[in-house]
Amino acid sequence: MTIEYFNELAKQTLLICSLLSGFSIAVVANLLVSDKNERLTNIILKAATLAAGCFLVSVFAMVNIIMTTTPGGFIKNVSIDDFQVSRTIGLLTFMIGLFALSTMIALSGWTKSKKVGRFTTIIGILTLILIFITMTRFSL
């Protein structure tokens, strides 16, 4: 893959991670002010916090890749090795964030009823599977 491709891919991943971290942070804020102190609600809060943290780390990893791979940037004659650590950390935290976000979706319905819980679990698993199927075409 070319440096230009990594630059564009990092820009798109940055956008996705920014949106997902914002969403996850909003869920965390709502759960923190909630009066519920049940075990399941606490697990959902932990999953949302993990997702938000991972997506934020991924945002900064992608910013590093963009800064490194932008033509005329601070590194001349850029090679893939120059952003290998950011690439690895960004991809790993992005994947963990997706798992945590899907877990949060899957568990959310169980706070209402078994029927809703089954539905949200199926949606959460299906969402994760479809995301990974679509992601097999590219990777950082």
Would 39 be classed as within a structural domain? Answer: yes
- CA-CA distance, 21 to 25, in Å (whole number)? 6
The single-letter DSSP state of residue 38 is -
pLDDT at position 82: 82
Question: CA-based Rg of the chain, rounded to a whole angstrom?
Answer: 17
Task: State the first-to-last Cα distance of the chain, in angstroms, to the nearest integer.
Answer: 10
pLDDT at position 135: 83
Residue in the block written with tokens 């996705």: 16
Would 34 be classed as within a structural domain? Answer: yes
Residue in the block written with tokens 């798992």: 99
pLDDT at position 139: 56
Would 9 be classed as within a structural domain? Answer: yes
The single-letter DSSP state of residue 76 is S
Range of the domain at 72: 3-135
Please tell me whether residue 21 adopts helix, strand or coil conformation.
Answer: helix
* Residues listed for the chain: 140
Q: Please give the model's pTM, rounded to 2 decimal places.
A: 0.87
Would 52 be classed as within a structural domain? Answer: yes
pLDDT at position 140: 55
**How many structural domains does the chain have?**
1
Token output for 98: 């997706």
Q: What is the mean pLDDT of residues 111-138?
A: 90
Q: Could you tell me if 55 and 17 are in contact, meaning their C-beta atoms sit under 8 angstroms apart?
A: yes
- What digits encode the pLDDT tens for the residues 68-122? 888 877 777 877 788 889 999 999 999 999 999 999 999 999 999 999 999 999 9
- What digits encode the pLDDT tens for the residues 37-46? 899 999 999 9
- What digits encode the pLDDT tens for the residues 7-26? 899 999 999 999 999 999 99
Q: Which residues contact 91 (CB under 8 A, 6 or more apart)?
A: 58, 139, 140
